[in-house]
Structure 1
Amino acid sequence: MNAHKTIELPTALLRDSAQGSTWHSQIPDDKAMLRAAVELTRDIAVARPGIYWPDMIASALLGYAALAAAILVDNTAAAVLLGVVSSLALYRALLFIHELTHMHKDALPGFRFGWNLLVGIPMLIPSFMYEGVHTQHHARTRYGTIEDPEYLPLALMKPWSLPVFALTAILLPPALLIRSAILVPLGLLIPPLRTLVWERASALAINPQYRRRKPEGDFARMVFWQELGCSAWAIGILAASFAWGWRPLAIALGVVALTALLNQVRTLVAHLWENDGEAMTVTAQYLDSVNVPPPGFFAAMWAPVGLRYHALHHLLPSMPYHSLAEAHRRLMGHLAPGSTYGRASYSGLAPLLARLARSTMTAGRRR
């Protein structure tokens, strides 16, 4: 396995981050890698409905079945185990939102509607929260800059920022419930609140300076119906809890909190987070991103739906998740040992978290 824990570059390419720059902005594009990524994968670039639909539906149904069992069972240990199973299954189902953002509208007819109906609205995370947002993260001139909604220079921040970043995820479930059940309906009566909720609480973003633009056209109509569905569902959940007790809701919130925490930890290792705001080449973006290819077994659990190949995804954003493993195999076989492509591969979650923690401690000493 080609596992790399550091990226070694000539000293001449290194620049003092305290002066407002990093080595990323000086990495030229590896044109041979970029060309190979496109040419070697043309025949596997089509999304296959026979994989997407069964995977998404089975994940969602397993998640809901395990959640129902966790609520109904009397044994605490069994309830916890079922809650973990539910969280992992719903995590996989939720991450299809990432595929939706890159999928052509005609690629899988009905899949967006089906996902929102089965997963997005019940989980209060409709697809509009990611659509139109995540693609900005892939924009050539935005990645790693202040205009990137999904980037923070975590490796250059204080060490305590990492646990705070991860643990804030457990606040997401109650925040989503409050948003859909209270803030969105109130926004119909209070326009400034509606604007605030849209700009600051309607996108799956980690950049606190990101402000979302007002939706327009067909997208605005889609947002309306998804918001209506989420608000009706959230209000119904609260009404049912008042009538029949809060235990089911508390367990459901705990399961979703675990899902959110798992996703936040995955986010910590999706990139190296070493850019401090300058625009980067595509190759630099690739090297600031992470692949965790096999044989690691657990990566398929904490980075499902193709996200273990996150660096490769930044080379081929529209490649369907079920083709990424084959694309990786082809590129590794085609490109020479020690090529740029192999330098984005890492061995697992723990080494990546350790690397990030060391980076924050080093950055802290520089200040």
Structure 2
Amino acid sequence: MAKTASDSVSLTRQAYALTDDLMTPNAAVYWVDLLISAALMWGGFLLAATTSSLPVGLVAGLISVLALYRALSFIHELTHIRDDEAPGFRVGWNVLVGVPLMTPSLMYEGVHNVHHVKDRFGTALDPEYLPLSRYTPLSLAGFLFVALLAPIGVLIRSAIVIPLSFLVPPLRRVLKQRLSALVINPDFVREDMAKMRPAWLVQDIACWLWSWGLIAATVAGVLPIRFVLTGLAIFSLATFVNQARTLVAHHWDNDGGKMSLDEQFLDSVNVPPPNLASELWAPVGLRYHALHHLLPKLPYHNLGKAHARLAQALAPDSLYHRASQKGLFEALTALFRRVAQKPAVVSRGPSAAE
């Protein structure tokens, strides 16, 4: 990737200076947002799974998809906040969202942080980066649609792999290193699971027991098949939307080499106002992905304020302004256009994103 004139250090310093008062998470905002999202997720699901009205079911299902996506997206915030900044939030999120969706916080904690390591971003050691702009259009489409299978994947992990791993030590190693991370880079191997945190073990066991409970209730006829199919559909659609969002979070132009801070920032994307729809398909601050890479400790509820300050205060020729895209479809169109114009690289295989 071609080098750019480096002003990222000064940009980072300016950004911190302009947003220093916005760095403290508001625990009340986190809790209220999560509780409302979880209520809409479960309420929409129950209505969609029980109503006899197709229009009502479709609307309820759509609400549940968007609410599930928003609630699940808090797993990203859990990697950046300390427990004392939002007391009980990590446990509450796992109880309301992580374990029921068999996607506990352990699958992102200690993983996403690697994506922010300066010397790993965009390289083969980055769990959340692939040279997607060098894929073929067919491979890129495969990357997008494979996300629909994510619910099946987490069910297999919880119901089969976790219990078997306690009986088969080699499988336990595979589970820890390869099957306990939400990544898009299939070659990524976790390096922090040798000393597994007690909380992570509890999360895994909880997912195992929850999955067996769901299967037993379904086989016994206690849980209607319609509930199961509705839940799978809602979960699949939410992960599909997230995968589409992942495609526009970066430009994916790096070929695996180390990137300068300028290049890392310019490879990332903001979708700021006036695009209001981005709050639905990139919730919990994900619409400000480039800003998040610039200031990773900035809590999601202050990203909008921070962006407004930076957009107003920074010079018109600042790198910051070059990171913005207009919307999801515009960014996806631009990505597929670049893919069609570039020679393809050998794909490392599509994998469901975080």
Q: What is the alpha-carbon distance in structure 1 between the residues aligned to residue 88 and residue 11 of structure 2?
A: 35
- Which aligned segments of 4 or more residues in structure 1 are displaced greater than 6 angstroms? none
Which amino acid in the other structure matches residue 241 of structure 1?
Answer: T
Q: Distance in 1 between matches of 2:340 and 2:109?
A: 35
For 1:313, give the aligned amino acid. Answer: H
Deviation at 1:144, TM superposition (A): 0.1
Determine the structure 1 residue equivalent to 2:351.
Answer: none
Residues 1:238 and 1:212: Cα distance change in structure 2 (over 3 Å): same
Whether 2:127 is the aligned partner of 1:161: answer no
Could you say which residue in structure 1 is the equivalent of 2:109? 131
CA contact (8 A) 1:290 1:310 kept: yes
Shift of 1:50: 1.7
How far apart are the structure 2 equivalents of 1:105 and 1:281?
Answer: 32
**Aligned residue in 1 for 2:197:** 220
Give the aligned partner of residue 259 of structure 1: 238
Q: Any idea what the Cα deviations from partners look like across 1:113-133, whole Å, max 9, x if unmatched? A: 111111111111100000000
- Preserved CA contact (<8 Å) 1:296 1:347: yes
State the AA in 2 paired with 1:204: L
Which secondary structure does the structure 2 equivalent of 1:160 belong to? helix
Match of 1:70 in 2: 48
Q: Is the 8 A contact 2:128 2:185 kept in 1?
A: yes
The CA deviation at 1:187 is 1.0
1:230 matched to 2:207: yes
Which of 80, 88, 109 is the equivalent residue of 2:58? Answer: 80
User: What is residue 11 of structure 1 aligned with on the other side?
Assistant: none
Gaps of 5+ in 2: 347-354
SS in 2 for 1:150: coil
Name the counterpart of 2:277. Answer: 298
Q: 1:152 aligns with which of 106, 130, 133?
A: 130
2:156 corresponds in structure 1 to 178
- Partner residue in 2 for 1:12: none
Please give the alpha-carbon distance, in whole angstroms, between the structure 1 residues aligned to 2:175 and 2:5: 39
Secondary structure of 2:270's partner?
Answer: coil
In 2, the alpha carbon distance for the partners of 1:278 and 1:78 equals: 50
Which deviations, in whole Å up to 9, do the C-alpha atoms of 1:255-283 show, x marking residues without a partner?
A: 00001000000000000000111111222
Name which of 229, 236, 246 aligns with 1:250.
Answer: 229
Is this contact kept in 1: 2:134–2:345, CA < 8 A? Answer: no
CA distance, structure 2, for counterparts of residue 45 and residue 282 of structure 1: 21
Deviation of the 1:365 alpha carbon: 7.4
Does the CA contact (< 8 Å) of 2:147 and 2:240 recur in 1?
yes
Q: Distance in 2 between matches of 1:186 and 1:43?
A: 49
The offset of 1:338, in angstroms, is 2.6
Equivalent-residue separation in structure 1 for 2:45 and 2:344 (angstroms): 45
Decide whether aligned partners of structure 1 residues 339 and 29 sit closer, same or farther in structure 2, where only a CA change above 3 A counts: closer
Summarize the Cα distance change of 1:289–1:214 in structure 2 as closer, same or farther, 3 Å threshold. Answer: closer
Instruction: Give the aligned residue type for 1:247.
Output: R
Which amino acid letter does the alignment assign opposite residue 257 of structure 2? E
Residue 113 in structure 1 maps to residue 91 in structure 2: yes
Matched, 1:352 2:328: no
Aligned to 1:275: 254
Mapped to 1, the partners of 2:345 and 2:160 lie a distance apart of 45
Aligned to 2:343: 364
Give the corresponding residue for 2:352. Answer: none
TM-score, scaled to structure 1:
0.91
CA contact (8 A) 1:27 1:281 kept: no
Percent identity over the alignment?
46
Task: Let me know the Cα RMSD of the aligned residues.
Answer: 1.5
- Cα distance in 2 for residues equivalent to 1:222 and 1:277: 34
Q: 1:140 to 1:36 in 2, by over 3 A?
A: same
Which letter does structure 2 place at the counterpart of 1:222? A
Q: 1:116 to 1:366 in 2, by over 3 A?
A: closer
- Code of the residue aligned with 1:355 in structure 2: it is A
CA drift of 1:104 comes to 2.1
Q: Is the 8 A contact 2:65 2:238 kept in 1?
A: yes
Question: C-alpha deviations, 1:46-68, integer Å up to 9, x for none?
Answer: 00012110001110111000101
> Measured at CA, do residues 319 and 214 of structure 1 come closer, stay the same or move farther in structure 2, by a change above 3 Å?
closer
User: When the two structures are superposed, what TM-score results if normalisation uses the length of structure 2?
Assistant: 0.94
User: Which shifted more, 275-284 or 299-308?
Assistant: 275-284
Q: What is the rounded CA distance, in whole Å, between the counterparts of 1:202 and 1:185 in structure 2?
A: 14
Gaps of 5+ in 1: 1-21
Judge which range, 303-312 or 329-338, deviates more: 329-338
